[in-house]
Amino acid sequence: MRIDLHIHSTASDGSLSPSALVWAARAGGLDIIAIADHDTVAGIGEARAASQDRVHVIPALEFSTTHDCGEVHILGYFIDPAYSDLLAYTLDAVEKRRERVRGMLARLAPYGISVTLDEVVQLAEPGTRMLGRPHIARALVRRGFVQTVSEAFDRFLGDSAPAFLPTELISPRNAIELIHAAGGLAVWAHPRISTLEREIDRFVSWGLDGLECYRPNASASDIRFIEALSSRRGLMVTGGSDWHGAWQGKLGDFYVNGSDIEALLDAGGI
Ligand code: AMP
Ligand code: FE
Ligand code: FE
Ligand code: ZN
């Protein structure tokens, strides 16, 4: 069985619509996928409708949380996408992310870059509501202010770059609680080893269920570290490509096997 538990659609900053993702996953030989968009569950319904059970779609999302040490992404798997508090969170996130983009655009003005929020929305994929830095980066490319998305991040949008503003949506603790209330499992996405070592006790005390371990560019030593820590702390391990579009290769080239993530599949009743 070939599985990818971390894929983004146009519901957030991915480049394929949820249904196109399902077709690409099938063409790429995947059996199970999780659509894990930033702060939204808006793509799940369309993906499930398109899948016709040929690809199993696990409902998920990726929370952008704010912690003392900066931004931490927490994945929620097997959540009920219709859970009211979760929907309230995503509606709030749409507004806050829109205001953040407005603020970042204002910070670009001193560099002679004038792009409006409407232009960013118009240049985004149809249907995009959950705006983020990639949408700004693509608008800067389209308008000729930079040559590539990487240049946009390096010069302006990266975590330490001059136009950056943090997403201030939710704490890790509250995200974990919301995931549990929505019937799901909470997994720390792409953890940095240094942060993990320092923070793991607190996250476990807040109810964390798992750590994302298998990723396209993860080093063998990081994988061994996360596997060992997970087994010591009774956490599940998960894996996924964090795929946003064709520039990251072909969907399905990276996958995990059912045996790698058995505990999560069992807990989700798969
Ligand atoms: P945001 O959630 O708005 O802070 O944007 C974060 C997203 O930007 C990540 O999920 C990636 O999709 C993308 N991203 C972050 N850093 C880079 C980078 N250096 N180059 C290209 N995309 C990036
Ligand atoms: Fe992203
Ligand atoms: Fe992430
Ligand atoms: Zn992601």
Neighbouring CB atoms inside 10 A of 77's CB total 25
Ligand 1 atom closest to Cα of 131? 3
What is the per-residue pLDDT for 255?
A: 98
258 lines ligand 1 (CB under 6 A): no
Check if the beta carbon of residue 8 is closer than 8 Å to that of residue 36: yes
| Cα of 88 from ligand 3 centre, angstroms | 21
Closest among 76, 2, 55, 7 to 248, alpha carbons compared:
7
| Cα of 243 from ligand 2 centre, angstroms | 8
Indicate which residue's Cα is closest to atom 2 of ligand 1: 132
What is the per-residue pLDDT for 211?
A: 99
Element (H, E) at 185: strand 185-188
What's the Cα-to-Cα distance from 173 to each of 88, 96, 99, 241, rounded to whole Å? 17, 19, 24, 25
150 lines ligand 1 (CB under 6 A): yes
The side-by-side arrangement of strands in the sheet containing 236-239 is 236-239, 210-214, 185-188, 70-77, 56-67, 32-35, 2-7, 256-257
Grouping H, G, I as helix, E, B as strand and the rest as coil, residue 101 is helix
Backbone φ and ψ of 32, nearest 5°? -135, 130
What is the per-residue pLDDT for 129?
A: 87
pTM score over 0.95: yes
C-alpha–C-alpha distance, residues 246 and 223, integer Å = 25
Ligand 1 atom closest to Cα of 38? 2
40 lines ligand 1 (CB under 6 A): no
Q: Which of 133, 136, 170 to mutate to test the pocket of ligand 1 (most atoms within 8 A of CB)?
A: 133
109-148: per-residue pLDDT in tens?
999 999 999 999 999 999 888 999 999 999 999 999 999 9
Task: Place 61 in a pLDDT band, splitting at 50, 70 and 90.
Answer: very high
Q: Between vectors from CA 199 to CA 198 and to CA 203, what angle results, nearest 5°?
A: 160
Ligand 1 atom closest to Cα of 159? 16
244 lines ligand 1 (CB under 6 A): yes
- Compute the residue count for the chain: 270
| Share of residues in the chain with pLDDT > 90 (%) | 96
Element (H, E) at 95: helix 84-108
C-alpha–C-alpha distance, residues 41 and 12, integer Å = 9
172 lines ligand 1 (CB under 6 A): no
pLDDT for residue 15 is more than 90: yes
Check if the beta carbon of residue 36 is closer than 8 Å to that of residue 63: no
C-alpha–C-alpha distance, residues 221 and 227, integer Å = 10
What is the per-residue pLDDT for 127?
A: 84
What is the per-residue pLDDT for 217?
A: 95
Residue owning tokens 């997970």: 230
Residue type, 243: W
pLDDT for residue 215 is more than 90: yes
20-50: per-residue pLDDT in tens?
999 999 999 999 999 999 999 999 999 999 9
Average pLDDT for residues 95-109, to the nearest whole number?
98
Average pLDDT for residues 216-233, to the nearest whole number?
98
| Cα of 193 from ligand 3 centre, angstroms | 15
242 lines ligand 1 (CB under 6 A): no
